[in-house]
Structure 1
Amino acid sequence: MDELMKVARDCFYTPIYMKKNRPAYKLSVLCDSDKIELVEDIIFANTSSIGIRKTQVERTILERESVTIPYQGLSLSYKKVFHKDNSYIYPEYQSALEFSRKYCLPIKEAFDSLKFIYGEKYEK
């Protein structure tokens, strides 16, 4: 998956059962059309797969901007997204992870704290 993530937008696997109730994993990869051949090469070189099913999908994305806030020696990164007349703030995972480690918090509490910090700084 590390090799795939270098060229794909996202990838994940799902445990499944194949015919005759054999356990397996389904590998799903989302990539741009110009990367398909490279993704296929990675899959065939690194898995036991002998075939790939492909489906074209459409993607709707929200307008977004990146926001960075300095906070007690950390650089906290967020995505601010916009939908119609609303905006939403999402802390970046890496910032939440660093915050959770620095303050010995569970990652969920770190996410909540980062949203609070953003609100204190920008939504007064």
Structure 2
Amino acid sequence: MFDHRTEHVDDHMVLVQANLDDMNPEFSSYVMDRLFEAGANDVYWVPIIMKKGRPGMMLNVLVAEERLEQIETIVFAETTTLGLRYVRAEVHRLARQFVQVETEWGPIAVKLGFHRGELVQMAPEFKECEAAAKRSGVPLKRVYEEVRRNYADNRTLE
């Protein structure tokens, strides 16, 4: 049974970094998708200035050690980097719980995050909101607003 007062996740992970100044930036979203599909916990790009004043991008991938080999293979195959940096990281994540919220477009999952037993984060699941918006032809922000409002309204009834 989920107990949000005591549960949290502490993980030992690896932050994989690569600086790139000669890769087509249009490839970045494709690379990101591949890395997430391979089990990366987080992927993000940071604009940087490299030696000789060249603009570049820093790729950052947070991954569990057991998936490191898959991530390395993708980064070397899909980017122009010649090397990777590894930073050992301890990650503390909030206790999480998913609930379903009823909307006029059907049920949509909401992710809840708890810190020391207190609800501190509430986020509608993006892909479900996106699908509802596309199906119904309404703006995505309207779906988000209704999910958040319906969650808040139902919470006051508890």
Q: Same fold (TM over 0.5)?
A: yes
- 1:51-66 to structure 2, matched below 5 A, reads 51-66=83-98
Give me the whole-angstrom Cα distance separating, in 2, the residues matched to 1:116 and 1:69.
10
Give me the whole-angstrom Cα distance separating, in 2, the residues matched to 1:47 and 1:28.
13
CA contact (8 A) 2:103 2:146 kept: no
Provide the residue aligned with 2:152 in structure 1.
119
Pair 1:70-2:128 in alignment: no
> Could you tell me which amino acid in structure 2 is paired with residue 9 of structure 1?
N
Give me the whole-angstrom Cα distance separating, in 1, the residues matched to 2:47 and 2:83.
18
RMSD: 1.9
Give me the whole-angstrom Cα distance separating, in 1, the residues matched to 2:137 and 2:151.
17
Question: Number of residue pairs matched?
Answer: 123
Q: Greater strand share, 1 or 2?
A: 2
Residue among 130, 139, 142 paired with 1:97 = 130
Residue among 26, 35, 38 paired with 2:67 = 35
Gaps of 5+ in 1: none
Shift of the 72–113 alpha-carbon distance from structure 1 to 2, 3 Å rule, reads closer
Report sequence identity in percent.
27
CA contact (8 A) 2:44 2:61 kept: yes
Question: In structure 1, the residue corresponding to 2:144 is in which secondary structure?
Answer: helix
Q: Cα deviations across residues 58-99 of structure 1 (Å, max 9, x unaligned)? A: 111111111112322422110122222421422111233244
The answer to which of 69-78 and 36-45 deviates more is 69-78
Q: TM-score, normalised by structure 2?
A: 0.69
Gaps of 5+ in 2: 1-31
Q: TM-score, normalised by structure 1?
A: 0.85
